[in-house]
Structure 1
């Protein structure tokens, strides 16, 4: 499988996964010749600063890890060039652009994938399976949280960034579990332009959701997140760390009238699982679970929150 990987920033998260596989050939594309060559060499890839090549050469998949404003147009360009496309989240900066991509993908015989990597976290899959199967009855209350220190030098996690950069995956979980809310309320606090927190409460028919995202934590805190899902007949609680210290953690606990038990989860790196899914679909071994049409509700909700945070 030949892959054109666009972007030397967050693209490195995808690069690390590709480099660990033996079934892909990757060319990394970037703007800065020195940085592009250095990063590509680190992963054993070819390097190029000629973006045109990504769409003109014989790549099977264009992997787009560039700024949000470029996402939709580059996916459309990949489809026009009859290439499959994987795009970092969010899919687009507007619903009009997102719908245009979904419609173009629907007309094409090429696949479009959106990197909804949190769908591949085993604890999140367990939550959505429980909602779908009714294992604990109806979901009545859901609290999600993601609290981080400023672990990415030079990256802003202020109010302008948090909704689209940090809350979108949570909104995907929410909309998959419950659909779109009837009412939404947003509160914020900002330490400065680069450090802030956002709390969102949402009301559904028979359920309530709260999502808290913060970039106000000190460096020793690292990055931690999880959820508490309260059902009619039990509670699922997920707690995890991102493992920036080399020691990632994660637990899922079920509380029911019969007692407390730890839920065994398969080990999984969400990025490796997501890219594994993409390649399995392209080999004809799986159905696409992260197509653009599956993310529209989550994007609509995220953009609504972003407008409230940044009017």
Structure 2
């Protein structure tokens, strides 16, 4: 399968997954010749600074890891060129653009995937399964957190960036297990131009969700996150950490009237699992679980939080 990978920044996370496979042929596209050649060379890929090739050559899939403002534009171009599309999250910067891509995908006969990698994290899948199967009764309260130091050079974690860059995955979890909230309230604090925190309280009929994200943490903190899901008959708690060495750890524990028990989780790399799913769908071996239509509620909720936190209005 031939893949056009657009972007040499976060595109390298996808490139690392492709490089470990033997069933893909990848060309990495970027603007700067030296930077693109260097990034592609790390993974043994060909490099190109001509983005038109992605739409003109015989690529099966266009993988878009470009800045958010260009996601919808390039997804639509790829569909017009009769290519399958993988778009880094979020799908688009506005609901207008997101719906346009969703509608174009439905008309095209081609598949579009949004990199909702958090759906493939085993701890999150344990939560999804518990809600679907009613393992611990009805979900009444969900608290999510994501607190991090500035672990990624050049990546902005300012107040204006946090909703779409750091909260979108949490909003996807919320909408998958509780639906669309009846009310959204937001509180914020900022430290200078690069660090901030947002607390969002989401009210549902008979349930409550809270999401806390922060980039105020010192380097020694690393990154820590997880969730506490309180059901009518028990609690499911997930805790994950990643130090400045980049080594992650995590666990999920179930608490019931009978005591506490650690939930066994399969080992998984969420990015590899996401790309495995994309390629399986393109081979006709699976149904698309990350199609554009499935992310619209989460994107709308994320944009609502963004507007409350930053006063932004969809353009």
Q: What is the rounded CA distance, in whole Å, between the counterparts of 2:52 and 2:246 in structure 1? A: 38
- 2:276 aligned with 1:292, yes or no? no
* Equivalent residues of 1:243, 1:249 under 8 A apart: no
Residues 180-220 of structure 1: CA distance to partner in whole angstroms, max 9, x if unpaired? 10011100000011100000001000000000000011101
| Counterpart mapping for 1:106-121 below 5 A | 106-121=106-121
Deviation at 1:99, TM superposition (A): 0.6
- 2:304 aligned with 1:304, yes or no? yes
Deviation at 1:134, TM superposition (A): 0.8
Residues 142-179 of structure 1: CA distance to partner in whole angstroms, max 9, x if unpaired? 00000100011122101110000000000000000011
* Equivalent residues of 2:148, 2:217 under 8 A apart: yes
Q: Which residue matches 2:52?
A: 52
Q: What is the rounded CA distance, in whole Å, between the counterparts of 1:2 and 1:175 in structure 2? A: 34
May I ask how many residue pairs the two structures share in their alignment? 311
CA RMSD of aligned residues (A): 0.8
Q: Which residue matches 2:140?
A: 140
Q: Which residue matches 2:10?
A: 10
Gaps of 5+ in 1: none
Q: What is the rounded CA distance, in whole Å, between the counterparts of 1:104 and 1:156 in structure 2? A: 31
Q: What is the rounded CA distance, in whole Å, between the counterparts of 1:63 and 1:208 in structure 2? A: 36
Q: Which residue matches 2:98?
A: 98
Deviation at 1:272, TM superposition (A): 0.4
Q: Which residue matches 2:180?
A: 180
- Secondary structure (helix, strand or coil) at the match of 2:277 reads helix
* 4+ runs deviating over 4 angstroms: none
Residues 98-150 of structure 1: CA distance to partner in whole angstroms, max 9, x if unpaired? 11111111111110000000000001011011111111110000000001000
| Counterpart mapping for 1:161-240 below 5 A | 161-240=161-240
- Secondary structure (helix, strand or coil) at the match of 1:34 reads helix
* Equivalent residues of 2:219, 2:244 under 8 A apart: no
- 2:84 aligned with 1:84, yes or no? yes
Q: TM-score, normalised by structure 2?
A: 0.98
Q: What is the rounded CA distance, in whole Å, between the counterparts of 1:202 and 1:209 in structure 2? A: 5
Q: Which residue matches 1:270?
A: 270
Q: What is the rounded CA distance, in whole Å, between the counterparts of 2:183 and 2:193 in structure 1? A: 28
Mean Cα displacement is larger for which, 53-62 or 234-243?
Answer: 234-243
Residues 208-250 of structure 1: CA distance to partner in whole angstroms, max 9, x if unpaired? 0000000011101111110000000000000012355253211
Q: What is the rounded CA distance, in whole Å, between the counterparts of 2:246 and 2:101 in structure 1? A: 38
Gaps of 5+ in 2: none
Residues 29-65 of structure 1: CA distance to partner in whole angstroms, max 9, x if unpaired? 0000000000100110000000000000011000000
Q: Which residue matches 1:75?
A: 75
Deviation at 1:309, TM superposition (A): 1.1
Cα 1:244/1:59, change in 2 over 3 Å? farther
Q: What is the rounded CA distance, in whole Å, between the counterparts of 1:68 and 1:85 in structure 2? A: 15
Q: What is the rounded CA distance, in whole Å, between the counterparts of 1:247 and 1:187 in structure 2? A: 31
Q: Which residue matches 1:257?
A: 257
* Equivalent residues of 2:221, 2:243 under 8 A apart: no
* Equivalent residues of 1:156, 1:193 under 8 A apart: no
* Equivalent residues of 1:149, 1:216 under 8 A apart: yes
Cα 1:243/1:60, change in 2 over 3 Å? farther
Q: What is the rounded CA distance, in whole Å, between the counterparts of 2:78 and 2:173 in structure 1? A: 28
